[in-house]
Structure 1
Amino acid sequence: MDSVNGLSRRSRLGHRAWWVASAALIAIIVAGAFSTLPGLLTGPLHREFGWSRGSIGLAASVNMVLYGLTAPFAAALMDRFGIRRVVVVALVIIASGAALTTVMTTAWQFTLYWGMLVGLGTGSMATAFGATVTQRWFVRQRGLVTGVLASGSVFGQMVFLPALSWIVDHHGWRPSLVTLVLAACVTAPLMWLVLRDHPADVGREPYGADGPVPRPVPARGAGRRALTVLRDTARTRPFWLMAGAYAVCGASTNGIMWTHFTPAAHDHGMPATTASSLLAAIGVFNVIGTVASGWATDRRDPRRLLAVFFALRGLLLMCLPLLMSATVQPSLMVFVIAFGLLDLATVPPVVALCREFYGDTGAVAFGWVSAAHQVGAALAAYGGGAARDAFGTYGPVWVALGALCAAAALLSLLVRRTAPADRAAAGPCLTAVDRL
């Protein structure tokens, strides 16, 4: 009996789904590394070319917008042409954009090469990519795998940021770009060798499935399908509730924390390098919190998890003005740890809800919800700076975002869950009351 159990355990651990998920994680880590570079390039580009920080920031803004808007179309393209082809092409686009950036001479070229090409490539490997892999290859442990893949982007930032910063300081900004180009070029053939589009391609069933699952017919017209999914989901109440909550998520994380936390801390006398180190620490706890959230999503109601995460995040943001000081106090470290645990914890529950409501189109629907996340982030990035100029302090910003997080918690609880019988059905499973 023990030998049988041992064989079964080895069979589970050796399932091809885990290899595919591992390969996807590597691609997401490499793509995440590219998001660390704009902050390192601003100073060197300003000194070498004399470009304004606004023109340099424009490329980063274009990159951020395309990162969000590309996700649903990339998920639809994966349904049409397969995961492997889309990811390999995306890595080639990223490498091309970064390589061209090393020979640019004008600011508009930076916007084109880095903002557009790298934005399109990295957007193709955003969280919608992880949702697609999870939906196709896993029946059990979906929440856990979603959490691990979602944390890959932040992990990539942590792994590459110290090395890239050292390269920029000691060898200049171009070698740092070449490093990322090489990383993408090495990753592309690895993805071609390991990634597979569906378990049926290798004669296996999804992890945790009772039997083989047939490969779905490729969905033609990827762009049209992405827009069709937007049209159909936009007619349902859960989509708008999740999109609204996720827009607040983007505003209270990427939009404000990663853009304005360092200058806000500097306003209180804290050195910028110290504040940046605190942000890096938040990134460390991001990984832990996202994986833990994925584990919890497999076992608890995703709506209630979202509500708890938003409520706690709102409380932390409202307390932040009282915790800021010129030095790192224990109370501020508690904030860093707690905020890090909550930062990306919203991803697995939202992915699970999109899958529950929209079935086979769940990954594309999540891509559109993620676009709302980026819109919220962009508005907060701009609004936070405008509020600082108007009030002379970031205090009202933290309080306002804390209140928005409380509203997002309520929106999460308003999402009606589907009936158990409908939950197993493929495709959208909404009752009449869920439709607008």
Structure 2
Amino acid sequence: MARQVISPNWRVVIGSGVGISFGAAPIFTAGFALLTSAMARDYGWNQTELAQAATIVLSATMVAYLFCAWPLDRLGSRRFAVTSIALFAISLAILSQVGSSLPQFYLAAALFGFVGAGTNVVSYARAISRWFDQKRGLALGLAASAQAGGSFVVPLAAHWIITRYGWSTALLAFAAFEVVVCLPLVAWLVKDSPPAGSPAPDDGGRRQMIETQAPEIGLGAAQIIRSPIFWKLAVCFAVIGMSFYAIAPNIMYILTRRGDVTAADVAWIQAIGAVAALFGRIVVGYLLDRLHARIVGILTVLLMALSMLTNAAASGVASMALASILMGFAIGGEADLMPYLAGRYFGTHSVSKVFSWLLFAFCVGAAIGPVAFVWLSTLSHSVIVPLLLLSALQIISIALFLSLGRYQTVPEPALSLAVALS
């Protein structure tokens, strides 16, 4: 039999990366501002109305994350992801056909957010956690880093298509790509877990054989809810979500008020940030296998605060690009942290559940961010004031990361060995 060029576990990472790269997250964070600005020009909508649409998307995603764990546990990563991709493509097609009616636009935005939740990292974290142990942080980082690839392509492609054919065609092109490219590759490459009794190809050897045969560990829902660590993480990621999404959907609004910046400049600034997010996810994934997650979390939050300060002081495209690089690296790291912390503090059996709940908390903050930013900037007649306030707010996240203790579940290799020898 011919030897496989790519081992089964890394095929799962590649398939997950394909799905994540053009899921709802990169299309929303990197393309929403350009797409909705073009829609606003056609229909006369203002920035407050666009910010409300962003809040609707994030609120719908937040609600969807509450229900992700149940179908994920029953369908598995592969079937859930494939279904989500198909529904997301339909939502893009519907969004491409909205008219000048704001209620119609808001309903399409809600559908985009709700079905798009399943195209993000949450769909793949369970499968990756089952295929990897010693290199789980790196595997999650590599898969999540694909979002940065999509975030690089999306704004440039969106700007090119909008300029030549209009925003409706851009949305239809993204929908077609989901169906023709992402869906079949995810269906082919992603597998839910290694075959029963086979050695996990993470590190090889007898120890991994023993681990694979051991039952999954994890805390029950009641134990998780009662855990102070869970609530610290929930508040921490809510603050991070609010901070990032206060800026992402308002990026055209922010940058065009900081200097002479065009839509093409914004597209390139976002693309540069996406490259930084790619490196952020890989580097943070690597660091998570070597440092405690709370230390890595503090580093990413500090970079986020520095990005906001840089943006507040920016006077040209170069400084704006630097702020985008810092933010991209920071938010790339946060994408690794959530599933990693869920698995290490609450066990692999609870990854989907805890990750979904943390994403819900993230989206609670994210839903507040866009409208709050526009409201504060209108009140202060400046985008600098809310940027400075957001930077100061990161003190909360730093304090919460500092207060986290040791990982609470028994280390999986030790537990598996104990089970095997009992």
Verify same fold: TM over 0.5. Answer: yes
Q: Does structure 1 residue 288 correspond to structure 2 residue 282?
A: no
Q: Does structure 1 residue 389 correspond to structure 2 residue 358?
A: no
SS state at 1:263 partner = helix
Alignment match, 1:211: 209
Task: Map 1:319-334 to 2 at 5 A.
Answer: 320-321=311-312, 323-325=313-315, 327-329=316-318, 334=322
194 and 339 in structure 1: CA distance in 2 versus 1, 3 angstrom threshold: closer
Alignment match, 2:420: none
Identity %: 23
| Conserved 8 A contact 2:345-2:409 | no
Alignment match, 1:378: 367
Alignment match, 1:430: none
| Conserved 8 A contact 1:88-1:192 | yes
The alpha-carbon deviation at position 103 of structure 1 amounts to 3.9
Q: Does structure 1 residue 297 correspond to structure 2 residue 295?
A: no
| Conserved 8 A contact 2:272-2:321 | no
Alignment match, 2:406: 417
1: CA distance between counterparts of 2:165 and 2:409?
A: 59
340 and 84 in structure 1: CA distance in 2 versus 1, 3 angstrom threshold: closer
Q: Does structure 1 residue 20 correspond to structure 2 residue 12?
A: yes
The alpha-carbon deviation at position 178 of structure 1 amounts to 2.2
| 1:267 equivalent among 257, 262, 280 | 257
Q: Does structure 1 residue 191 correspond to structure 2 residue 183?
A: no
Task: Map 1:236-275 to 2 at 5 A.
Answer: 236-256=227-247, 258-273=248-263, 274-275=265-266
1: CA distance between counterparts of 2:324 and 2:38?
A: 29
In the alignment, structure 1 segments of 5+ residues that lack a partner are: 1-9, 218-224, 428-436
How large is the Cα RMSD of the aligned pairs? 3.1
Task: Map 1:311-322 to 2 at 5 A.
Answer: 311-318=302-309, 320-321=311-312
SS state at 2:291 partner = coil
| Conserved 8 A contact 2:81-2:186 | yes
1: CA distance between counterparts of 2:14 and 2:124?
A: 11
- Tell me: higher relative CO, structure 1 or 2? Use CA pairs within 8 A at least 6 residues apart: 2
Alignment match, 1:235: 226
Alignment match, 2:55: 61
Query: Aligned residues, how many?
Result: 402
Q: Does structure 1 residue 398 correspond to structure 2 residue 391?
A: no
Deviation string, structure 1 residues 352-380 (Cα, Å, up to 9, x no partner): 22111211112321221122222222223
Amino acid at match of 2:273: I
185 and 214 in structure 1: CA distance in 2 versus 1, 3 angstrom threshold: farther
1: CA distance between counterparts of 2:160 and 2:296?
A: 39
| 1:177 equivalent among 171, 176, 179 | 171
Q: Does structure 1 residue 349 correspond to structure 2 residue 337?
A: yes
| 2:149 equivalent among 137, 145, 155 | 155
In the alignment, structure 2 segments of 5+ residues that lack a partner are: 417-422
2: CA distance between counterparts of 1:298 and 1:206?
A: 17
426 and 170 in structure 1: CA distance in 2 versus 1, 3 angstrom threshold: farther
Amino acid at match of 1:119: G
1: CA distance between counterparts of 2:38 and 2:16?
A: 33
1: CA distance between counterparts of 2:237 and 2:58?
A: 16
60 and 254 in structure 1: CA distance in 2 versus 1, 3 angstrom threshold: closer
1: CA distance between counterparts of 2:38 and 2:56?
A: 20
| Conserved 8 A contact 2:338-2:355 | yes
The alpha-carbon deviation at position 43 of structure 1 amounts to 4.3
| Conserved 8 A contact 2:239-2:393 | yes
The alpha-carbon deviation at position 232 of structure 1 amounts to 4.3
| Conserved 8 A contact 1:72-1:128 | no
Deviation string, structure 1 residues 32-87 (Cα, Å, up to 9, x no partner): 45324433333443455566665555443322222233235323312111212111
| Conserved 8 A contact 1:60-1:115 | no
Alignment match, 1:338: 326
The alpha-carbon deviation at position 179 of structure 1 amounts to 1.3
51 and 318 in structure 1: CA distance in 2 versus 1, 3 angstrom threshold: closer
| Conserved 8 A contact 1:146-1:348 | yes
The alpha-carbon deviation at position 27 of structure 1 amounts to 0.9
Alignment match, 1:119: 113
Q: Does structure 1 residue 277 correspond to structure 2 residue 271?
A: no
2: CA distance between counterparts of 1:317 and 1:102?
A: 33
2: CA distance between counterparts of 1:364 and 1:259?
A: 28
Which range is displaced more, 15-24 or 393-402?
Answer: 393-402
| Conserved 8 A contact 1:72-1:366 | no
2: CA distance between counterparts of 1:174 and 1:283?
A: 24
| Conserved 8 A contact 1:69-1:123 | no
Deviation string, structure 1 residues 113-143 (Cα, Å, up to 9, x no partner): 3421x22232012222232122111122111
Deviation string, structure 1 residues 149-182 (Cα, Å, up to 9, x no partner): 2222232121232222212221223322221222
177 and 214 in structure 1: CA distance in 2 versus 1, 3 angstrom threshold: farther
1: CA distance between counterparts of 2:56 and 2:252?
A: 22
Alignment match, 2:132: 138
Alignment match, 1:74: 68
Alignment match, 1:361: 350
Which range is displaced more, 72-81 or 138-147?
Answer: 72-81
SS state at 2:296 partner = helix
SS state at 2:256 partner = helix
Amino acid at match of 2:285: G
2: CA distance between counterparts of 1:332 and 1:59?
A: 25
1: CA distance between counterparts of 2:35 and 2:252?
A: 17
2: CA distance between counterparts of 1:236 and 1:145?
A: 27
| 1:41 equivalent among 19, 35, 38 | 35
1: CA distance between counterparts of 2:44 and 2:311?
A: 36
TM-score by length of structure 2 reads 0.84
